[in-house]
Every structure is written in C-alpha cells, then in structure tokens.
Structure 1
Amino acid sequence: MQVLDHETMQKFVSPIKANVEPDDYADYFRTEQLYQTGLTQDPNNPLLLANYAQFLYLVARDYDRAEDYFKRAIGVEPPDAEAYKYASFLWRVRKDLWAAEETFGSH
C-alpha cells in the first residue's frame, strides 16, 4: 500500500462553507480530481474519505455520493474523527435525527 506524501495530504482540507462561483469551476474540478487521485492511491484512508464526503456535501451538493463516502469513512477502522461529520450530514440533509444519534453513538 502506497501512502500519500505530506504535501498531498495538506491539500485535503474539509471546507466549512463554500460557494462555487463560475470562475472557480477550474478549482472545483481540480479539487475533485485530487480527491479521486488520492483515493485511487489510498482507498481506505479515513481522512481522505471523510474530507471528500465533506467536499461532495458542502461544495458539490452531491448528497448521495457524499453519503456513500461518509459510510466508507465510518467503516474504516479506526475511523478518523472527521468521519463523524456523517452524523451532522444525516441530521441536516437527511433530516434523520435518530440515525445521526445512532451514528455518533455507535463508535
């Protein structure tokens, strides 16, 4: 298994809030490509999985794919703390407080 170098890992940061402006699409696609490349090299990296899920949720607003990546991030042992943002996603996007509490309390 190949581990990503420190410089590449620094590029993967969970956004807090993002609005994609028309002139930012190149950056958006470049970020998407970086996550996909990183996950191709290290598909079980819980931090990459969780941060990509956050990117899909907050930036791309692709909730179905975001949920898939959150589930993968939670499933990796041990999960990264960022993976628990899945509980917030379940509560805010899916409006499923019970599932959010179960997700947060299950680990």
Structure 2
Amino acid sequence: MLPLLITTVAMILAGVLIFISMKDREANLAVNYYNAGVSYLQIGEVDKAIIQFQKALEKNRVLSAAHYGLGLAYASKEKYQEAIPELEFALKQRQTNPVIYYNLGSTYLYARDYDRAQAVFERALALKPRIKEIYFNLGWILKEKGDLAGAKENFAKALELDSQYQKARKYLGVLEEMEKEKKKAELLEVLKHFDEKDTEFMIQLSSDQKPGSHRTISI
C-alpha cells in the first residue's frame, strides 16, 4: 500500500503552511506551534510534531491546518482511529483539496474501512481525476472486496497515467493469475456434479476448449 503524503510538497498542496502575522497573541502562538509541528514532521520527529500540533490546538481549536498535521502524524504512527477525526475536521474546512481526500482515504484504507475509503477516493477523483495513486488504492480496495474486474480496471487506469508505475503493473499480473485460478476452481466444481446426460454442459465444455487443446473426463 502507499504511504501517506506527509512530505513538504503535500503540506503545501494542502494549503496548510502558515506564515502570516496575527495581532491576537493566542492565534500567533497557535501558528508558531503549528509551524514547529510541520518542521518536526518533515524530519521524522513524529512524537515531537504531535506535541506541537496539540499545543497549537490548545490555543486555537478551529485551526484546520493543525488538525490536518496532527492527523498525518497519528496516521504515520498507525494510530488510525485517532487520525481519522483530525483529517475529517481538516477536510470539512477544505472540501476541494484532493490531497486531504487522498490522505483521509488512505487512513480509512489502512484501518480496513474499505467502504469509507472507497467513497473518499471517488470524491477525490471527481476533483482531480489524474492521480494515479488514487486509482491504485481503489484497485486495492476492490480486490479486497472480491471485485476483480473493478480492481483490474483501476490498476489499468493507474498504469495509463504512468506506464512506469510498477505497483500497478505488478497487481494487474496478480489479478490475471487470480482470475485463472478462479476459472479453474469453477470448472472443477462443475465437474464434481457432472451428468453425462447433460448435453448442454457438454456443448459448453466443448466450446471452452481452445484450438489444439485436449481435455479428457474420466467417468
């Protein structure tokens, strides 16, 4: 699965870097704590980042950027249940930002809440339909749900956007093997209940044969 986007680029894309002056002292402190949290997060000091984001929210409970940063920090420590409400809060304030959708969807995915993850990713694609990672994650979700055709379609779309996207290529191959195994299992199940008087089955079985192939049935 894919990592959350917690790089500098992701933070900028999410519109959460704050370098503005505020007259209100508490608001100023909140921004300072937030910026410190971003700095810690960028160098992998996640525990310190969490402390700074929490301090920012103590000063300003509605600072969506701090909720977003805290959500990313929790998610990077695999504390998905703690991360989800923070990311949801940030999304309510920035409902047109596909990066926040992506990170929230990824967190739902890691928490194995596939239905919510799928819904969030689909909304992200409605905003920005050319993010290959979202198609990959949707493919993964549908694979886990047993929808191999849907999974294959999404992996293929990811590969269309980036022909060098090896993860998508790999799982397309995996799905092809899964489909082959599924067909074999279905055929074996049919053969268990084979009736030599069932001419319709015999015709179907014959039509399934590839030219030059040979199959025998022992009775």
TM-score band by shorter chain is 0.5 to 0.7
Show the counterpart of 2:58: none
CA pair 101-58 structure 1, distance change in 2 beyond 3 A: same
Q: Deviations over 1:23-53 (max 9, x none)?
A: xxxx733x12221121112112222112211
Show the counterpart of 1:97: 148
1:28 is the counterpart of 2:81: yes
1:83 is the counterpart of 2:129: no
Please report the TM-score for the alignment, with normalisation by the length of structure 2.
0.36
In structure 2, how many angstroms separate the alpha carbons of the residues matched to 1:80 and 1:10? Answer: 22
Q: Output the aligned Cα RMSD.
A: 3.1
Shift of 1:79: 4.1
Between 1:2-11 and 1:50-59, the stretch displaced more is: 2-11
CA pair 46-90 structure 1, distance change in 2 beyond 3 A: same
Where does the alignment leave 5 or more consecutive residues of structure 1 unmatched? 21-26
In structure 2, how many angstroms separate the alpha carbons of the residues matched to 1:97 and 1:16? Answer: 29
Q: How does 1:28-107 map to 2 (within 5 A)?
A: 28-29=81-82, 31-59=83-111, 61-84=112-135, 85-91=137-143, 93-106=144-157
1:5 is the counterpart of 2:17: yes
The aligned amino acid for 2:106 is Q
Q: How many residues align?
A: 95
In structure 2, how many angstroms separate the alpha carbons of the residues matched to 1:16 and 1:95? Answer: 28
> Would you say the 8 A contact 1:90–1:96 is kept in 2?
yes
Shift of 1:82: 3.1
Shift of 1:17: 9.4
In structure 1, how many angstroms separate the alpha carbons of the residues matched to 2:77 and 2:138? Answer: 16
Per the alignment, in what secondary structure is the counterpart of residue 145 of structure 2? coil
CA radius of gyration, larger in: 2
> Would you say the 8 A contact 1:87–1:103 is kept in 2?
yes
Larger relative contact order (Cα-Cα within 8 Å, sequence gap ≥ 6):
1
**Identical-residue share of aligned pairs (%):** 25
Show the counterpart of 1:23: none
Where does the alignment leave 5 or more consecutive residues of structure 2 unmatched? 1-13, 19-37, 39-64, 162-219
Please report the TM-score for the alignment, with normalisation by the length of structure 1.
0.65
> Would you say the 8 A contact 1:49–1:70 is kept in 2?
yes
